[in-house]
Structure 1
């Protein structure tokens, strides 16, 4: 009887190791694929420069970030406007009814290349 139990335990351990190896190998490929970001239909496009937060310039026009405005980087992580001072970015943005900029998405090079020309 001892031989049967040890054989069963060995097979169970082998199955467990194979399952773990399969999960580890698939985890790397899932993380490598970046999800395509979906933007609202009312989004506008432009080139943004943060001059002195909350003051920004989009396409050369002076604008302001709203209180609680969110700036998302190319990897969709939140960025602080103070860290972007003086840098120029291609962006998609949303305006509030009062004219303040509510949300900004800094576009990756692939997203910029995918934009229609014109």
Structure 2
């Protein structure tokens, strides 16, 4: 019984490792993604760096936790983002930057 207890105590330190690995994961933001200040006015209408712009149909906006965010939930908020456009020029993929990503130079 003592050996089992010692073994389980010895292995218990491994439990937090997956959480640490997830916390330090890099998000797959393309190098070609541009940086800008996004304000959703009335979806799909937005202001990007103070100029009127438009989200494409099927736009994917990823929040700071990399989960998808609905554009309507961002109405009126200024968020620092990296984004990719469609060949037609509409904004298609958006990543809302974390504090660390915002401080890093692209």
TM-score range, shorter chain: 0.7 to 0.9
Answering whether residue 14 of structure 2 is matched by residue 26 of structure 1, we say: yes
- Equivalences, count: 104
> How high is the TM-score relative to the length of structure 2?
0.84
> Relative contact order (alpha carbons < 8 A, sep ≥ 6): 1 or 2 greater?
2
Deviations 1:5-47 (A, max 9, x none): xxxxx578x17x617x725x43324314231223212211100
What 5-or-longer segments of structure 1 have no aligned partner?
Answer: 1-9
Partner of 2:75: 85
Instruction: Give the aligned CA root-mean-square deviation in angstroms.
Output: 2.2
Matches within 5 A, 1:64-83: 64-83=54-73
Radius of gyration: which is bigger? 1
Give unmatched runs, 5+ long, in structure 2.
Answer: none
Alignment of 1:34-73 (within 5 A): 34-73=24-63
List structure 1 runs of 4+ shifted beyond 2 angstroms. Answer: 25-30
Structure having the higher helix fraction is: 1
